[in-house]
Structure 1
Amino acid sequence: MKSWVFLALTVGALLVGAGLHLLGYTMVGDVAWAAGTAVAVPPAIWWVVSALRERRLGVDAIAVLALAGALAVQEYLAGAVIAVMLATGRALERYALRRARRDLTALYERAPRSARRYVDGMPTPVGIDEVRRGDLLLVPTGEIVPVDGVVARGAAVLDESALTGESVPVEYTEGDSVRSGVVNAGAAFDLRATGTAQESAYAGIVRLARETEADTAPVVRLADRFAAWFLPATLLLAGLAWAVTGQAVRAVAVLVVATPCPLLLAAPAAIAAGLSRTARRGVVVKGGAALETLGHARTLVLDKTGTLTAGRPEVFDVVAAPGFRAGDVLRWAAGVDQMSSHVLAAAIVRACSARGLTPPAASGVTEQPGVGATGMVEGHRVHVGKAPAVPATEWMAAQRARAALDSAMTVWVTADDHVAGVILLRDAIRPDAARTLRRLRTAGIDSVVMLTGDRAEVAESVGAVLGVDRVLAEQSPAAKVAGVREEADKAVTVMVGDGVNDAPALAAASVGVAMGAHGSAASAQAADVVLTTDRLDRLADAMDVARRARRIAVQGAGVGIGLSLLAMVIAALGWLPPTAGAMFQEGIDVAVILNALRALRPAPGTRLRVDAGTDALLRRFEHEHAALRPPLDLIRQTADELDRPEAPARLHRLHAFLTEELLPHEQAEERRLYPAVSRLLGDPEATVTMSRAHAEIGRLVARLGRHLDLAASGGLSAGQLDDLRACLYGLHAVLTLHFAQEEEAYFSLTSDV
């Protein structure tokens, strides 16, 4: 029977019976109440049978006995009230604990269904099941690689995020092995199949997802955890009351007030309120069981790309070779790359615009997958991509070493066959990641594990910055599932991911969490929790809500059962007849529901409430940071090139930027933002360390100004260079750290991104 039908029938019978009694039709009214009671008996019996099939004896057995007893001793009103209580509890439970379907539809639908096989030298569409080992296939631009194979002709640029989660496309040359499920992000290429579709990597992901989905069991209802002692205690007390007094009505009264509605209502009502609360915070929790499990998680497993990091590469430095300018290097590269769809090209074009530069027009642009793009820009033949085939210089070796130390990707720029510079890119850590991990540890997470398909050196670098307990890098989808299962065997485990490749691991975890704002539909459908906003800190909010909802549910159940036990004793003594007991029990139910609704409100002190004025300030200075960040590269570049003839002019331009743009920004923060943040945090000393950084920045800028004053007459002296270089490097380091600290500690407090 549908829960809403059950509720309508029982409430209708109770109201009709009450109306008939008021009109003087007592016997007919009793029949209506008896009918309402009888309607509740079959569902209650079915719940008991279902529990027994699962080798559980739930407290629903008390409800069956109470209903049958009410009919037997002709306490029809009491039976009707019990029926309404049961129907209400079941309706709330169905609403709050309904599990979401986890069929991973998007993952399955993404699986390739056709391929382009060469037949008589022409690519011909065939069904995916027709592909055999050794077949030569064409993989057009933008299409999914249908089966595992090797690059037969040409070069391949592949977006492997579906398998590894890594946002940067990977370049393959002839003879390299390629896995199915990745997307051709470059020019069309030929693939020699090394297996059938069923033997390929993507089919394995789908199988893993289905297997792990089946392995995940629902959480047992909170009510049944009390059955081990509550059910025997109730039957014993009812039996004693009947045996000692010989009055069956006393036993029925005990059963009526023992009807476990506080248990049936406390958890669903609190969890339903918790689900509503998380939804307001941009977190969709797929059912009460997931929220309850989230409330006592102890291990957090995180994917890296798109979860702890932004999910796309960004330029963080442009280094010009001797004889060239960094601005020209970036402009020329952007001029060529604005014609390309490569993800690194897009990052270079964005960086050029962010630095206030305009990419020049390029002509005759050609792009060679796996190598790069070439075009004519401002009279120069510019190539952007892999390092040129020229003897490595000391300068080039230094840039490669720096890229390795910074875990950065490199894009080399040549002009007229001369190395002009190198552009360094990396996937930046989310500003809110560190704060979120600290909050999660406070909320009860004991262990944080990073699980990623990315390179070990990159993953370990991110893990070190964020204080992750364990880093597992270069993990295949199967290895991710195994890693999550290993953690889940030791403790309740939450897995956070955003890619198609994360779907099986999300389903294997105790609770899977998907970054739904920019992640794949497959990961969102595989997960128990979906973050609809692109903020990891919402997970910490959800855990706070889950723990509070669970605490309120247990509290409500405990108080309700305590009152029920007291009422059972009073009923056994004959001081509480069945009808009055049913009404008393209904009062307990109302109190339990009202208590449970407290979960709709945030717990005191769990999250800062940012007022509109402070939020506006945080956003203003966050935008200013975004504008000031690119010019910070000038500080390091100037320090690197102090021995060049143009160094004095660059120093003057840098000093003008620092005194006219950067310092006014820092002073405005000191006057307006920091007092607002101190009031928000309730601690006048909260921004002292940041103010100290401002003082150090001001000192270093003043030192730079004094150096320029000394050089005003005769230029920079050899004795100034070492101190000036140390001053610039120190200023760059302090500013970089200070910006990161403000973004993590303050700007992540904004109400949304």
Structure 2
Amino acid sequence: MISNRLNVVLLAIALVGLLAGLGLLVADFTELATYTWTVGVLPVLAALVIEIARSLRKGEVGLDIVAALSMAAALVFGETLAAAVVALMYSGGTYLESFAEGRARREMSNLLSRVPRTATRHRNGALDEVPLDDIKPNDLLLIRQGDIAPVDGTLESDRAMLDQSALTGEAMPVRLARGDDIMSGSTNSGEAYDLRATLPAAQSTYAGIVRLVEAAQKSKAPMARLADRYSLLFLVVTVVVATAAWWFTGDPIRAVAVLVVATPCPLILAVPVALVAGLSRAAHYGALIKGAKPLEALAGIQTLILDKTGTLTDGRPQIVSIQSHGVLSEDEILYFAAALDQGSKHPIAQAIVAAAQARDIVLPIPLDIVETPGDGVRGTVDGRRILVGGLNFVMEQVGASSSSAAPQEPGAILVALAVDGQLAGHLVMADALRSGTSELLTGLRRTGIKRILLATGDRRAVAEAVTEGLGFDAICSDLTPDQKVRLVLSERENGPVMMVGDGVNDAPALAAANIGVAMGVRGTAASAEAADMVLLVDRLSPLLSGIEVAQGARRIALESVIAGIGLSFAGMIAAALGYLSPVQGALFQEVIDAAVILNALRALRIKPRETTLAAIQDVTRPKSQEQ
């Protein structure tokens, strides 16, 4: 491909040559005008011939040959003005295509341009500006207002306000509390905060996103490859029509006009612009697609297979309900349990603390903490003896029977609380279904997906309890990773399959699917590597947006191709019959090329349906945030 800088030079030469020749023609210097047009055409023709030779060495045959033939034929038969118009048209079209693709890549390029190079690290009571490669897990970083989080980490300050619009497309800032996860690439739109690094910069979410963007920008879709193959057919048809026009009329100028009107081809221009615009637009809505090929495949998915834990559910224990066995209220039960659990690193204990913080409950410092690993914690809160832990453990300690507690639902965990030796209540915890999932599945079916299946390694009873009422076509439980792969392969016999997952155990199934989708925030590196599409936020709504954008981009590409090729063929026939001169044919084709490129750029304005846009704000919000 001719470089952008050379494109500008060739465009300038062709434009100056054409205008100078027209000026000389008006001044009645006909021969000098002809010479000037020829001089303006030759550099463009030479660069084109070199580019064609490079393509042929790679085994690629494109419509650049038609452009070269039309310019050469116009010069040979004395149609130097037509040759000058074709030279301007070719160089201008190539520049316009390059500009359009650059415009289409804007969202993804913005991701690349925002990569921070250094970070401010706390060290020995001072602040040091260090390169990203020097950041290690557990380092404490200062993120000033306007700074971009350079690595994944957890919030060490009380509050933070983050702008994630560059990653998710959401305009509204997100408010986080102490202990919440922060995704690298988020911009600090509030006061400065401290970030505890959990991963090195090279392994952070944002670094992975950058690698995916770079790979996506180098990809080529099947539709684009199909356009390359059809370009050879178009070339043959063009030469045949031009030769026939010359043969039957004896007028070589008609052959020149046919060649001119076929240069270049909308088949080549429209497809890459529309698909790259689709990639950019999908990234704007939080769905990073790894290239034009998966974007095109995404538009035709027939079957969707969803993992459960961390995908359909939040993947972390959430408080479903709080029940009292005495005089304490729900907030008081949560207050005492969370206060004592501050002294434990157990995931369930941390989830209880996070739930209290989400309700803005101020927690006191617990005293005399004694933890029995895997069972529970005892200590003193506000002068009262508190015991928090598993149901059986707490019941044994207070001398009560576990039958006094509520029956445990499939997949749920009961955390009991005792105050001053008496059972005070319990918290029901579960890996809760993401809120709005039913609406999301309805939206996915609306896009043309015919079958939606659940694939999980959990027990059947747990899977059915979590997905009750969602209308899955099938629930496949107790699956090992290789069984998930076999499920994907069997479903592929019925049409293209999409698999969505987040864990290491999902990676083989993601690779086996036509389209693998990974949860990019807390999903594993293995699943993101195996996937064709990564969701940049910890929810499923970008999946729906990505499918609708992919379908829109593919539709626009096809519209551009059909309309452009139809007009090109009509122009060729008109030229062969003598209704278009070479100059008129060149101008006509230039109008076609500009029209199909502008039409392809419509993909930059694709918007998911109103229900999808609403879902971006609400769908798949964890239930704990609704309490």
Counterpart Cα distance in 1 of 2:512 and 2:612: 35
Code of the aligned partner of 2:409: A
Which residue is 1:16 aligned to?
16
**1:336-379: CA deviations, max 9, x gaps?**
21111222102222444567866565332122333332334544
8 Å contact kept, 1:267–1:557? yes
Moved more, 314-323 or 563-572: 314-323
Distance 1:495 1:93, change over 3 A: farther
Report SS of the residue matched to 1:428. Answer: coil
Q: Which residue of 1 aligns with 2:467?
A: 463
Mapped contact 1:299–1:448 kept (Cα < 8 A)? yes
Question: 2:308 aligned with 1:304, yes or no?
Answer: yes
Listed as ranges, the matches of 1:538-553 within 5 Å are 538-553=542-557
User: 2-side partners of 1:217 and 1:588: how far apart?
Assistant: 24
Give the corresponding residue for 1:563: 567
Distance in 2, matches of 1:224 and 1:72, equals 29
Question: What are the equivalent positions in structure 2 for 1:243-282 lying under 5 Å apart?
Answer: 243-282=247-286
Q: Does the CA contact (< 8 Å) of 1:271 and 1:288 recur in 2?
A: yes
Equivalent residues of 1:13, 1:80 under 8 A apart: no
SS at match of 1:249: helix
What code does the residue aligned with 2:11 have?
A: V
* 1:294 CA drift (Å): 2.0
Residues 67 and 86 in structure 2, CA contact (< 8 A), matched pair in contact too? no
1:251 Cα deviation after fit: 2.4
Shift of 1:39: 1.0
1:606 alignment partner in structure 2: 609
Aligned position for 2:155: none
1:316 aligns with 2:320: yes
Kindly provide the amino acid, as one letter, of the partner of residue 10 in structure 1. L
1:396 aligns to 2:402 (yes or no): yes
Q: Is the 8 A contact 1:570 1:576 kept in 2?
A: yes
Provide closer, same or farther for how the CA distance between residues 217 and 591 of structure 1 changes in structure 2, counting only shifts above 3 A: closer
Structure 1 pair 79–329 and aligned structure 2 pair: CA distance change class (3 A): closer
- Do the aligned residues in 2 keep the contact of 1:97 with 1:287 (CA within 8 Å)? no
Q: Which residue of 2 aligns with 1:427?
A: 431
Say whether the 8 Å CA contact 1:412–1:419 is kept in structure 2: yes
State the match for 2:98 in structure 1. 91
Aligned residue runs from structure 1 range 178-577, under 5 A: 218-221=221-224, 223-224=227-228, 226-227=230-231, 230-320=234-324, 329-352=333-356, 362-377=366-381, 378-380=383-385, 382-385=387-390, 387-388=392-393, 390=396, 396-397=402-403, 399=405, 401-404=407-410, 407-413=411-417, 421-477=425-481, 479-488=483-492, 490-499=494-503, 502-503=506-507, 505-520=509-524, 523-524=527-528, 527-577=531-581
Counterpart selection for 2:44 from 36, 48, 67: 36
Equivalent position of 1:188 in the other structure:
none
State the one-letter code of the partner of 1:17: G
Distance, in Å, in 2 between the alignment partners of 1:5 and 1:88 is: 9
State the 1:501 CA deviation.
Answer: 5.2
The 3 A distance-change label for structure 1 pair 479 and 217 is farther
The TM-score, its normalising length taken from structure 1, stands at 0.57
- What's the Cα RMSD here? 4.3
Q: Which residue matches 1:80?
A: 87
Q: CA shift at 1:586, angstroms?
A: 0.4
Q: Using the alignment, how far apart are the partners of 1:17 and 1:60 within structure 2?
A: 21
Q: How far apart, in 2, do the equivalents of 1:256 and 1:362 lie?
A: 84
Using the alignment, how far apart are the partners of 2:497 and 2:365 within structure 1? Answer: 53
| 1:115 corresponds to | none
SS of equivalent residue, structure 1 residue 402: coil
Is residue 412–residue 423 contact of structure 1 (8 Å, CA) maintained in 2? yes
Inter-CA distance 415–485: structure 2 relative to 1 (3 Å threshold): same
3-state DSSP of counterpart to 1:307: helix
> CA 1:51–1:489 in structure 2 vs 1: closer, same or farther (change >3 Å)?
farther
Give the residue type in structure 2 aligned to 1:39.
A
Cα distance in 1, alignment partners of residues 476 and 13 from structure 2: 61
2:398/2:418 contact within 8 Å kept: no
Partner of 2:145: none
Whole-angstrom distance in 2 between the partners of 1:74 and 1:293 = 48
Q: 1:626 to 1:313 in 2, by over 3 A?
A: closer
- Which amino acid in the other structure matches residue 380 of structure 1? R
TM-score calculated relative to the size of structure 2: 0.68
**Deviation, structure 1 residue 30:** 1.0
Deviation (angstroms), 1:411: 2.5
- Per-residue deviation at 1:35? 1.9
Deviations 1:541-582 (A, max 9, x none): 222222122212211111111111111111112332333212
Aligned residues of 2:556 and 2:599 also touching (Cα < 8 A): yes
Moved more, 242-251 or 89-98: 89-98
- Give SS of 1:425's match: strand
Cα distance per residue 1:357-413 (max 9 Å; x no partner): 665653321223333323345443625236228599996357574322xx2123344
Deviations 1:275-306 (A, max 9, x none): 44334434444443333222222222333333
The question of whether the paired residues in 2 share the 8 Å contact of 1:454 and 1:474 is answered with yes
The answer on whether the counterparts of 1:387 and 1:411 sit within 8 Å (CA) in structure 2 is no
Report the AA paired with residue 35 of structure 1. Answer: P
Please list every run of 5 or more consecutive structure 2 residues that lacks an aligned counterpart in the other structure: 25-31, 110-136, 139-211
Write the distance in 2 (CA, Å) between the matches of 1:234 and 1:304: 55
Partner of 2:586: 582
Amino acid at match of 2:222: V
Structure 1 residue 327 displacement after superposition? 6.2
Structure 2 Cα separation of the partners of residues 436 and 266 of structure 1:
32
Q: How many residue pairs align between the two structures?
A: 503
C-alpha distance 475-8 of structure 1, shift in aligned 2 (>3 A):
farther
Q: CA deviation at 1:418?
A: 6.7
Give the greater-gyration-radius structure (CA): 1
The separation in 2 between residues aligned to 1:266 and 1:231, in whole angstroms, is 17
Contact 2:90 2:264 in 1 (8 A): no
Is there any run of 5+ residues in structure 1 with no aligned partner, and where? 102-140, 143-208, 631-753
Q: Measure, in 2, the Cα distance between the counterparts of 1:29 and 1:474.
A: 75
Q: Structure 2 CA distance, aligned partners of 1:82 and 1:544?
A: 35
Q: Given that residues 510 and 516 in structure 2 are in contact (C-alpha distance below 8 angstroms), is that contact kept between their aligned partners in structure 1?
A: yes
Query: Alpha-carbon deviation of 1:263?
Result: 1.2
Shift in alpha-carbon separation, 1:330–1:600, aligned structure 2, 3 A: closer
Q: Match of 1:635?
A: none
- Which moved further from structure 2: 336-345 or 217-226? 217-226
Separation of aligned partners in 2, 1:393 and 1:575: 101
Does the Cα contact within 8 Å between 2:101 and 2:277 map onto a contact in 1? Answer: no
Q: How does 1:627-642 map to 2 (within 5 A)?
A: none
Higher mean displacement: 227-236 or 322-331: 322-331
Report the Cα distance in structure 1 between the residues aligned to 2:72 and 2:467, rounded to whole angstroms.
Answer: 62
Distance in 1, Cα, partners of 2:488 & 2:578:
57
Q: Does the aligned pair in 2 maintain the 1:385–1:412 contact within 8 Å?
A: yes
The one-character-per-residue Cα deviations of 1:306-326 (angstroms, maximum 9, x if unpaired) are 332233211112345589876
Letter in 1 for 2:293: A
Shift of 1:427: 1.9
CA, structure 1 residues 451+58, in 2 after alignment: closer, same or farther (shift >3 Å)? farther
Query: Structure 2 vs 1, CA of residues 353 and 569 (structure 1 numbering), >3 Å: closer, same or farther?
Result: closer
Residues 231 and 267 in structure 2, CA contact (< 8 A), matched pair in contact too: no
Contact 2:344 2:350 in 1 (8 A): yes
Going from structure 1 to structure 2, the CA distance change for 1:466 and 1:590 (only over 3 Å counts) comes to same
Code of the aligned partner of 1:38 = A
